């Protein structure tokens, strides 16, 4: 079985049972609902105990449970740019504000990147009389670029401005 097939099977069962992602995450436990949802959609992996809980919940085989525990091939968006309007808006945010994110992060932290591996994210609904708002908070560890072959007191890493 391919991981995409397992994702479709999980989505079919979720739909058939009328479950929400919050209900599923509460049953599996151990990680944030965002990470569990990402794992069941094939973008992250579950621990063995979580994969076993997911298998029991969804009626999966032992092989399918093992697949939930394997390191996935991440970043599988069917097309670029994405055609789904909601996903496209995130792409649009990066197209419009990506250079601003880069400049402000590197001005504050130095020459490096925000990790998507050592990363946390929360999502919440903010009631608003003009229409509820989506609040997404992302927090990633700053990873400075390492400079090599440096001499004359040049720092090893890209923290701040030397």
User: What's the rounded Cα separation, in Å, for the pair 161 and 8?
Assistant: 48
Choice among 8, 89, 103, 107 that is catalytic: 89
Question: Is the CA virtual torsion 130, 95, 37, 76 positive or negative?
Answer: positive
Residue among 92, 74, 75 nearest 83 (CA): 92
Choice among 4, 8, 70, 92 that is catalytic: 92
The encoded tokens of residue 110 equal 């130095």
3 among known catalytic residues: no
First to last CA, the chain: 52
115 among known catalytic residues: yes
The encoded tokens of residue 39 equal 């794992």
Please identify which residue in the block is written with the tokens 């909601």. Answer: 86
Partners of 125 in the beta sheet? 134
15 among known catalytic residues: no
* Helices within 18-162 (DSSP H only): 21-28, 33-40, 48-58, 62-69, 85-109
Choice among 20, 76, 115, 139 that is catalytic: 115
Catalytic residues, by residue number, are 89, 92, 115
């Amino acid at each position: 079985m391919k991981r995409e097939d397992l994702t479709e099977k999980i989505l079919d069962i979720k739909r058939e049972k009328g479950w929400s992602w919050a209900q599923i995450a509460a049953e599996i436990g151990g990680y944030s609902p965002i990470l569990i949802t990402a794992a069941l959609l094939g973008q992250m992996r579950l621990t063995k105990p979580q994969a076993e809980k997911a298998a029991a919940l969804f009626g999966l085989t032992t092989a399918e449970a093992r697949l939930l525990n394997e390191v996935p091939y991440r970043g599988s968006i069917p097309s670029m740019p994405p055609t789904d309007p909601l996903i496209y808006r995130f792409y649009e945010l990066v197209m419009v504000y990506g250079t601003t994110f880069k400049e402000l992060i590197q001005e504050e932290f130095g020459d490096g990147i925000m990790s998507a591996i050592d990363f946390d994210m929360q999502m919440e609904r903010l009631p608003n009389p003009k229409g509820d708002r989506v609040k997404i908070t992302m927090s990633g560890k700053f990873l400075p670029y390492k400079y090599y072959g440096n001499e004359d007191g040049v720092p090893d890493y890209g923290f701040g401005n030397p």
